[in-house]
Structure 1
Amino acid sequence: MRTRGWGGKVPASDEDAVARILAATRRTIDLHGEQTSIADVARTLGVTRQTVYRYFPSTDELLSATAADGVGVFLDQLAEALAGITDPGEAVAEGVALTLERLPHDPYLGLLLRTQPASAFAVTVTTDTGRTFGHSLLNRLDVDWAEFDEQSVDDIIEMVLRTLQSFILAPLPAPGQELRRLLGRWIAPAVTAARGATKARASARS
């Protein structure tokens, strides 16, 4: 780790350095938006570009890491908006709608969508990281997931992620109520059916 710069306070570890770089990137994004570069972040930290490059070899990697680091805030905001919805189908359908509405405007996650081709961003949705985020969101909802077995929950997340991927690649011309109508007709019943399948499997084993 370099020992110069950092505003006179050298990071205690590589982990500390990464955390400070990500925090500085968020501050820089707040100022410069999608024009943010590694040079801007280095100036914010009082270090050279080479110092930032040691941890993040490119601006794309830095922005991706910043988005991943801030996803918890995005998920918390979604959970707050979905608070009180206990029906699993309704909660999941509305969660998909809100994600598609809010994602383009999120200062950090949305930045990736604004600076990359939609196809490049959409590929990341169905990665293991995307599935981890899916589990994290479901765990924040006011839904009793004890009624679903592990396979059913995994299936719901896979279905949700691929639905998000599809709408990111080809958005509806006029979303809003039409988006909610589609999700309410096709996604919500599928989630309810997964609960029914869980109960059927449990009955068959007993």
Structure 2
Amino acid sequence: MRTHGWSGTAPVDDAEAVERILAAARRAIDRSGSDFSIAEVARDLGVTRQTVYRYFPSAEALSTATAIAQTTHFLDILAEHVSKIRDPATAVVEGIAYTLERLPHEKYLNLLLTPGRASAFSAGVTSDTALAFGRSILQRFAVDWAAAGISDLDELVEHMLRIVQSFVIDPGRPPRRGAELRTYLTTWVAPALDPR
């Protein structure tokens, strides 16, 4: 059995390898921020860069996977924040507004959505990963989506992600916050939640 690489302890399977790479990326992000390198992650693991690239084709892909893996904390906070809201339109408006307001305070969510990374976010806003992430957010809301006549959560998630994307890319001049942001979203986003 080969023992070089992986600091002498090879992973038992690909799932463990991915888990270790994500943990090393998390440590690198904690040390270096979003400008970490694949080489830094490889050194931490005791492997070559090619080994990391075998699982993640770029630093961008690794950064995104790490951020998504670490957003459970934010999802819990968001779910608690909207836990008493049963109206779909109000929940969506508050979910979008709260996400935009928390963005500067949530390191890993920030990796996914910051304006400096807008091109990466733009390219993947409707990816399967983004849609799955969004669905996991909506499923934590206290809204009975089916009873509200909303059967296609993927389309709702796509709409919400496109709204968030728009505000991330161009927050406005000056950026809307608080009640002003919620009023804007209630006027222009909430009507999309009316049953057809």
Instruction: Please indicate, yes or no, whether the TM-score normalized by the shorter chain is above 0.5.
Output: yes
Segments of 5+ residues of structure 1 without an aligned counterpart are 198-206
**Larger Cα Rg: Structure 1 or Structure 2?**
1
Aligned match of 1:138:
138
Q: In structure 2, what is the Cα distance between the partners aligned to 1:98 and 1:15?
A: 33
Identity score, percent: 54
1:176 aligns with 2:146: no
TM-score by length of 2: 0.84
Higher normalized helix content (fraction of residues): 1
TM-score by length of 1: 0.80
Q: CA deviation at 1:71?
A: 3.6
- Structure 2 vs 1, CA of residues 74 and 4 (structure 1 numbering), >3 Å: closer, same or farther? farther
Is the CA contact (8 Å cut-off) linking 1:24 and 1:44 kept in structure 2?
yes
C-alpha distance after superposition, 1:74-98 (max 9, x if no partner): 3223212222222221111010012
Q: CA deviation at 1:127?
A: 2.4
Q: In structure 2, what is the Cα distance between the partners aligned to 1:49 and 1:128?
A: 26
Is the CA contact (8 Å cut-off) linking 2:113 and 2:121 kept in structure 1?
yes
Aligned match of 1:157:
157
Q: CA deviation at 1:164?
A: 1.5
Aligned match of 1:77:
77
C-alpha distance after superposition, 1:172-197 (max 9, x if no partner): 22321221110122323432x12xx3
The residue type paired with residue 92 of structure 2 is V
Q: Which moved more, 1:126-135 or 1:103-112?
A: 103-112
Count of matched residue positions in the alignment of Structure 1 and Structure 2: 194
- Partner SS state of residue 143, structure 2: coil
Q: In structure 1, what is the Cα distance between the partners aligned to 2:114 and 2:40?
A: 19
Q: In structure 1, what is the Cα distance between the partners aligned to 2:186 and 2:143?
A: 17
- Structure 2 vs 1, CA of residues 130 and 57 (structure 1 numbering), >3 Å: closer, same or farther? closer
RMSD: 2.5
